[in-house]
Amino acid sequence: MNGKSMIAAALRAEIRKLRVKIAEARRVKTNLSAIDRMISGSIRKWANKYSGFQASQMSEIVVINKFEGDTAEKIKQKLPEPIEQMETEITSAENVQVEIGLQIEKLEEYIQKLQDKIALLQSQLASL
């Protein structure tokens, strides 16, 4: 093997390694995108249930001639906790979604850098 063919072989090997890294980064990006869609669906479900509750008669626990008395008062005292928990869960899920979006952006940048390296290596290979 002469010097040029050794260099060409090394460049091809490096290109293969970079393509493997790109494939792995794309796989991770696809998985994160799927998780992001699942979280979006959950947020929509939670928000719909929350909105439905807020619009229902149940949002007002003590309703004269319908829901009143000791039981209504007990429920009225306990209800704010689950409502706050729903709001907290929605906010937490939205925060996770933001972080997933940032990770996807970083993966896209990483993939682009790897593609740029491949283009450079291919041009070096072509110039041999």
Helix H, strand E, coil C: the string for the chain is: CCHHHHHHHHHHHHHHHHHHHHHHHHHHHHHHHHHHHHHHHHHHHHHHHHHHHHHCHHHCCCECCCECCHHHHHHHHHCHHHHHHHHHHHHHHHHHHHHHHHHHHHHHHHHHHHHHHHHHHHHHHHCC
pLDDT-derived band at 86, boundaries 50, 70, 90: confident
Report, as an integer, the average pLDDT of 16-31. Answer: 98
Task: With a cut of 70, say whether residue 69 has pLDDT above it.
Answer: no
Residue 23 pLDDT > 90, yes or no? yes
- Tens of pLDDT along 88-118? 888 999 999 999 999 999 999 999 999 999 9
